[in-house]
A and B are shown apart, each in its own frame.
Chain A
Amino acid sequence: MTDAPLLDVRLISKSFRGLRAVSQVSLAVRPGEIVGLIGPNGAGKTTTFNMIAGVFPPDEGEIRFDGADITGLRADQVCHAGIGRTFQLVKPFYGLSVEDNVLIGALRATRDVDAARAAAVDLLDRFGLADRRHQAAGALTLPDRKRLEVARAMATRPRLLLLDEVMAGLRPGETDEMVQVFQTLNRETGLTILMIEHVMRAVMALSQHIVVLNYGERIAEGEPEQVVRDPKVLESYLGEEAV
């Protein structure tokens, strides 16, 4: 793996009213790679995502995507640069149909509504939502909302997908299905993924590389097998969870 990183996060920090939520965190994701971002509750994982996705700029540090500096860009600009994201607390467009939710994502890449609708139907099929596509998104169950969240982000045709706990709340069987979808996408389209995940079953199945945060700091990184044996990681996080 000598490729230049697709995403290169260098020493970013963020404080909220004195609370240092993220402190000098660096991480890199190479093209085609799936990287897991783990750590206990409140470790700063979502905050790190929000900085990458342009929700707010980092207080310090730099974020580069495909060689270009994207630090401080707005969320919509980051999306156009090629980064799609899901929200930990899913944000479907409740009053719109499932299909229209995904269609709106697909309009990122085309002005043509019919083409966007066709792309949306394809994606809904892939995520097992085809039969529910005319329902209002607000009528979906939580697992289906999670699927919709991913399908909608995928519709923007990202090169890098940021997933924030999309497996949370899924049953083991559903988790495995979702894992398979990502494996297929990764294999077929070379989609690069950075995923925050508490469900270790999914993390271990998907990640080629893992970064661990605790109290806003990066405490470990490396190959999955090696990271889960790291004493610092076990102490801060995995100890309670028992892999």
Chain B
Amino acid sequence: MRGVGAVLRGAPRAATGLAVLGAALLVAPLLVDDYLLSVILITLYFAFVGQAWNLMMGYAGQLSLGHALYVGLGGYAAAAFFVHFGLTPWAGMVIGILVAAAFAAGIGLLAFRFGIGGVYFALLTIAVAEFTRILFEHFEWVGATGGFFLPVENREINDLLMLRGSPAMFYYVILAMTVGLFLANVALIRSRMGYYWMAIREDQDAAQALGINTFRYKMMAVVLSASLTALGGVFLAFYNNNLFPIDAFGIHRSIEIILAPIIGGLGTLFGPILGAFILTPLGEVLTWALDQLGVQMAGVKHLFYGLVLLVIIRSLPGGVWPWFARRLGIEGPEARP
């Protein structure tokens, strides 16, 4: 916790704000209706996967545009073992993480060994995600294009072991995951690995000259980010109770994951969380407004996200968080655009 303390040092307003936010999130299920709770829940989910993606892009500087791959792999693996063998998702999650980690290691090995970097690396991540989507569209064991469904039996009884239960239970699970990942990131970014990632992001040649095995540390970033994203995928699959290849692996899903950290602030600890809290509610308000107006247009939401992204990048190139942090009186890396 020394790390969080350091971030908030000399910023009492930020510390108070954080405490209030924490308390509000803790009691939210008692205060808000099911719909609002589901919005906060999805916001927390995007904060979780956004943080996972940010480790790789924001800190290690490796752009993945195919992160839905890991959401899908994690979700499908845990769901399949649950449905077919009755395996608890807490064990299924390990399988999902291993599969996702293996895919990530494959991509990393291919890219970093053969010097595929930058745009080509990003294209490779898209290609593997698309390839996997097509694979799953023919994968009968998990329902192929028809989709794969988890039984929804009893929403009254909270079975944490099998991750079956009420929205409030899912809410607390994702809240714990998101806060847990945030605290883990605080420690990680202040460890040798965190500094080595940032060195690689800033200048690979200089990093290597300082004794950093860039291949090894990039691989660790990719595998760790993928594993955490897969964990998010397990949660999402058990919350939604259904999986479709296009919705699990599609490029639009990958883009959704990266919007919050970009808007919030790449390479900052709070950025992905703030970004999710800005973007997801805005998207909901838009959906509601369009409903009221009777407008039925596919893709309007994505168009809107694109616009928000454009506006933010033009006015606050480092994202909203660094700007906000400076206003709160926070200094150091979190406030640097």
Contact = CB atoms under 8 A, between A and B. Distances in A.
B22 interface: no
Given A55-B205, A93-B206, A95-B336, A113 B211 contact: no
A104 B199 contact: yes
A21 B211 CA distance: 26
B212 interface: yes
Contacts of B211: 76, 79-80, 108, 156
Interface string A82-105: 001101000111111100100111
Task: Identify whether the interface residues of A are mostly helix, strand, loop, or mixed.
Answer: mixed
A84 B214 CA distance: 17
A136 interface: yes
Nearest to B267: A95
Interface of B is mostly: helix
A153 B84 CA distance: 57
Interface in B180-210: 190-192, 195-196, 198-199, 201-203, 205-210
Given A95-B336, A97-B333, A100-B195, A105 B210 contact: yes
B208 to A, nearest CB: 4
A64 interface: no
Contacts of B208: 74-76, 79
B213 interface: yes
A53 B212 CA distance: 13
Interface string B298-337: 0000000000000000000000000000000001110010
| Among A75, A97, A153, residue most surrounded by chain B Cβ atoms (within 10 Å) | A75
Number of contact residues on A: which range applies?
20 to 34
A136 B196 CA distance: 17
Contacts of A111: 192
Nearest to A136: B336
B190 to A, nearest CB: 6
A96 B202 contact: yes
Contacts, number: 83
Interface residues of B, number: 25
A113 B202 contact: no
Of B201, B205, B214, B332, most A-chain CB atoms within 10 Å: B205
Given A53-B209, A80-B211, A87-B209, A94 B192 contact: no
Contacts of A28: none
A96 B333 contact: yes
B203 A91 contact: yes
B180 to A, nearest CB: 22
A80 B202 CA distance: 21
A104 B195 contact: yes
Interface string B141-173: 000000000000000000000000000000000
Contacts of A22: none
Nearest to B217: A76
B192 A156 contact: no
A178 B54 CA distance: 40
Nearest to B198: A96
A164 B196 CA distance: 24
Given A104-B199, A108-B211, A113 B190 contact: yes
A91 to B, nearest CB: 4
Interface of B: 190-192, 195-196, 198-199, 201-203, 205-214, 267, 331-333, 336
13 contacts: A74-B213, A76-B208, A79-B211, A80-B211, A84-B209, A87-B209, A91-B203, A92-B206, A97-B333, A103-B195, A113-B190, A116-B192, A153-B209
